[in-house]
Structure 1
Amino acid sequence: MSNHPEVPVVPVGAHEPPYYVAVFTTVRTQEQSGYSETNARMEDLAKDVPGYLGMDHAQTPGGLGITVSYFRDADALTRWRTDVEHRAAQERGRAEWYQSYTLHVAKVERSTGFTRAEVPQAGA
């Protein structure tokens, strides 16, 4: 999982369905050499895929990581899945970084969102 403290924590917004999500859930090994750099590169690479809508990350203190990637259509998801650099990162992940993982791909049929309006502080 990437660690971007300078970026506000905001989930990817709701999009007009249908679109696709890839939910990648991991437990990592102790060996993480090169992981952060590769993960950052994969995020940058995904952004260049036509039809990419965004990516959310979460990591529990116990080590469970979840990345959800959003794509406008199945073709965009296929372009991401078959990208040569992404495929190489997948192989390295299986060889070094992941104890286990699951990948779930789904077509989103409903999407809503909520953002609390900022309330001014007293005396501000």
Structure 2
Amino acid sequence: MSDHVDTPVMPVPAFEPPYYAAVFTAVRTQDQSGFSETNERMEELVRAIPGYLGADFAQSPGGLGITVAYFRDGDALQRWRTDAEHRAAQRRGRAEWYESYTLHVARVERSHGFVRTEAPQGPAGG
């Protein structure tokens, strides 16, 4: 969903399964007029959906963008999928902003995470 340039790098935490992941992978067009504003609005809308858990974003040097959005249940995902403003943004995306994209929706059955709490120690312990 976003170009989070100024957002600290931190993955969405692991949640107790099951939950859903919507993986949106896209290559954008050259003309991105209006994309940032629409993207900000979409983030505002999705955050307001009960059951939205968060999203991870990545961009490859070659221009492939990946957004993985997490939802507690199918109802939350359905609310996002059918939101009228989101549907309008999807239509505009196909018409203007994307060369290609794929969407994969999966039920997460296993999830865990790790966060380093101290600086790593060298081989000699310091």
What range is the shorter-chain TM-score in?
over 0.9
State the SS of the aligned residue for 1:6.
coil
> How far did 1:61 drift?
1.3
- Which stretches in structure 2 are left out of the alignment for 5+ residues? 121-126
> How far did 1:5 drift?
3.7
Match of 2:68 in 1: 68
> How far did 1:28 drift?
0.5
The separation in 1 between residues aligned to 2:3 and 2:77, in whole angstroms, is 24
- Which stretches in structure 1 are left out of the alignment for 5+ residues? none
The separation in 2 between residues aligned to 1:5 and 1:94, in whole angstroms, is 24
The separation in 1 between residues aligned to 2:56 and 2:39, in whole angstroms, is 13
- Structure-to-structure mapping, 1:4-23, within 5 angstroms: 4-23=4-23
> How far did 1:42 drift?
0.7
TM-score by structure 1 length?
A: 0.92
State the SS of the aligned residue for 2:58.
strand
State the SS of the aligned residue for 2:113.
coil
Kindly, what percent of the aligned residue pairs are identical?
74
Match of 2:91 in 1: 91
Match of 2:78 in 1: 78
- Higher mean C-alpha deviation, range 11-20 or range 38-47: 38-47
The separation in 2 between residues aligned to 1:4 and 1:74, in whole angstroms, is 26
Counterpart amino acid of 1:85?
Answer: E
TM-score by structure 2 length?
A: 0.91
> How far did 1:119 drift?
2.5
State the SS of the aligned residue for 1:55.
strand
Aligned length, in residue pairs: 120
State the SS of the aligned residue for 1:20.
strand
The separation in 2 between residues aligned to 1:26 and 1:92, in whole angstroms, is 14
